[in-house]
């Protein structure tokens, strides 16, 4: 599978999120297993410099059963007993039925996100993943997909798209006049999206795209709050504001598109 720098950014966010939840750097690193076209990233293997921080220690795979020089995706899932699988490879169809079923052996509710887009690059189709895992997998995709019907249930497929994060992150940074966009601000935007979804759509993995204009101000206010905590916000008018005050500040400056009425010109 191709491994993009975007994929490494996701690996960083996962690691930092685990550290925020209490794990050490080493503990978090051991739980984020990254693969490229040659298999699992392992120290001592030839790879580009940007991949090296996410290469596993050799002792991490001691005792694993696999063929070839390095574990492939299926062997990594089975040996590491992975419970979350994220696809950022751009390789359509790379999450096969054996891969999905291997995830089910590790947890009753596997998380499987084929996040590559467009649709043709999706690592798997959501309806396949739902059927292969007997309706048990938590599935979101990078492209929009319709709900999946399974055994009398209608399962919504969330769109795991950075459009839920970047508008609010950028707006918050601009309104706070932040000297820099810190790692903490980026991570705060992700936590803000999670908290918004839990509060408004607890049965969903992501909010509907139609609610993006509600999500973005919330993310922006949380980003501003973090910028203030980290001392990088230079906008004097937001200093000392509560979160409610930050929300009001954002909403008062949120752009509303309005279009003037028009009439077609007569055909001459």
For residue 4, what pLDDT is reported?
Answer: 63
For residue 1, what pLDDT is reported?
Answer: 42
The Cα 207–Cα 212 span in angstroms is: 8
Q: What are the two backbone dihedrals, phi and then psi, of residue 150, each rounded to the nearest 5 degrees? A: -150, 120
In sequence order, the 6+-apart residues with CB closer than 8 A to the CB of 84 are 110, 111
pTM of the model: 0.84
For residue 2, what pLDDT is reported?
Answer: 47
For residue 255, what pLDDT is reported?
Answer: 84
In this prediction, residues 52-61 reach a mean pLDDT of 93
pLDDT at position 232 over 50? yes
Per-residue confidence at 67, pLDDT binned at 50, 70, 90? confident
160's tokens: 């795991």
The Cα 19–Cα 25 span in angstroms is: 6
Q: What is the DSSP string of 89-150?
A: S--TT-S-HHHHHHHHHH-SS-EEEE--SSGGG-SS-HHHHHHHTTT-SEEEESS----EEE
The Cα 117–Cα 225 span in angstroms is: 32
| Beta-sheet pairing, 148-150 with 138-141 | unpaired
Three-class DSSP category at 88:
coil
In this prediction, residues 172-189 reach a mean pLDDT of 96
**Residue of 204, 58, 199 lying closest to 140 (CA atoms):** 204
Q: Count CB atoms within 10 A of the CB of residue 162.
A: 15
The kind and range of the H/E element at 84 are: strand 84-87
15's tokens: 């690691």
**Residue of 241, 238, 117 lying closest to 171 (CA atoms):** 238
For residue 153, what pLDDT is reported?
Answer: 94
For residue 3, what pLDDT is reported?
Answer: 56
pLDDT at position 171 over 70? yes
| Chain centre to alpha carbon of residue 190 | 8
Task: Catalogue all structural domains in the chain, each as residue range(s) with its CATH number.
Answer: 5-159 (3.40.50.720), 162-251 (no CATH)
Is residue 69 within 8 A of residue 40, CB to CB? The reply is: no
For residue 68, what pLDDT is reported?
Answer: 82
The string of pLDDT tens digits covering residues 103-155 is 999 999 999 999 998 899 999 999 999 999 999 999 999 989 999 999 999 99
pLDDT at position 239 over 90? yes
pLDDT above 90 as % of the chain: 79
In sequence order, the 6+-apart residues with CB closer than 8 A to the CB of 173 are 181, 185, 223, 227
Task: List, as own/partner pairs, every contact residues 226-229 make where C-beta atoms lie below 8 angstroms and the sequence separation is at least 24, other chains included.
Answer: 226/182, 226/184, 226/185, 226/188, 227/172, 227/173, 227/176, 227/178, 227/182, 227/185, 228/176, 229/184
In this prediction, residues 24-53 reach a mean pLDDT of 93
């Amino acid at each position: 599978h191709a491994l993009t720098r975007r994929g490494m950014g996701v690996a960083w966010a996962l690691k930092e999120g685990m550290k925020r939840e209490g794990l050490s750097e080493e503990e978090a690193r051991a739980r984020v297993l990254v693969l490229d076209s040659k298999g699992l990233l392992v120290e001592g293997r030839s790879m580009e410099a940007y991949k090296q921080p996410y290469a596993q220690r050799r002792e991490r795979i001691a005792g694993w059963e696999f063929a070839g020089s390095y574990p492939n995706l299926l062997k990594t899932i089975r040996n590491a007993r992975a419970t979350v699988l994220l696809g950022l490879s751009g390789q359509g169809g790379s999450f096969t039925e054996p891969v999905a079923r291997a995830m089910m052996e590790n947890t009753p509710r596997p998380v499987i996100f084929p996040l590559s887009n467009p649709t043709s690059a999706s690592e798997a189709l959501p309806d396949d993943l739902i059927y292969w895992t007997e309706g048990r997998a938590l599935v979101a995709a990078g492209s929009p997909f319709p709900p999946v019907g399974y055994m009398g249930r209608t399962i919504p497929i969330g769109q795991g798209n950075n459009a839920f994060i970047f508008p609010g992150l950028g707006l918050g940074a601009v309104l706070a006049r932040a000297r820099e966009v810190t790692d903490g601000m980026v991570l705060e935007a992700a936590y803000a999206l999670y908290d918004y979804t839990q509060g408004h759509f607890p049965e969903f993995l992501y909010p509907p795209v139609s609610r993006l204009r509600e999500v973005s101000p919330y993310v922006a206010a949380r980003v501003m709050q973090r910028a203030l905590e980290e001392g990088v916000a230079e906008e004097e008018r937001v200093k000392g504001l509560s979160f409610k005050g930050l929300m009001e500040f954002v909403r008062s400056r949120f752009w509303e598109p309005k279009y003037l009425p028009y009439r077609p010109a007569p055909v001459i």
